[in-house]
Amino acid sequence: MESQELIQIVEKALEEIRPFLLSDGGNISLVSIEDNVVKVRLEGACVGCSINQMTLRNGVEASIKKHAPQIEKVIDLSSVM
């Protein structure tokens, strides 16, 4: 799969989960995809939220893997500056 096509698929998956994040004052953006690892940045209220890792695994990662099963994991870079 071409990288641009994979980016579009991952963005579509993020669009599915984004309304839930926005409803809690948060958001998410795609940073990059490298070696079947998606790097995202949680934003707004998601940063520092006590359940953001659960949201990342059960919501974001699950949605992405549903659309792009070759993705191995999702990493949050919001705490990395």
d(CA 27, CA 4): 22
**Model confidence over 23-56: pLDDT tens digits?**
989 999 999 999 999 999 999 988 888 888 888 8
By three-state DSSP, how is residue 35 classified?
Answer: coil
- Output the pLDDT for position 54: 87
Where are the chain's structural domains?
Answer: 3-76
Instruction: Give CA–CA dist 15/51, Å, rounded.
Output: 20
User: Domain 3-76 is classified in which CATH homologous superfamily?
Assistant: Fe-S cluster assembly (FSCA) (3.30.300.130)
pTM across the whole model: 0.89
Q: Residue 74 pLDDT more than 60?
A: yes
Q: Token digits for 51?
A: 């359940």
Burial zone of 51 (CB within 10 Å; 0-12 exposed, 13-18 middle, 19+ buried): exposed
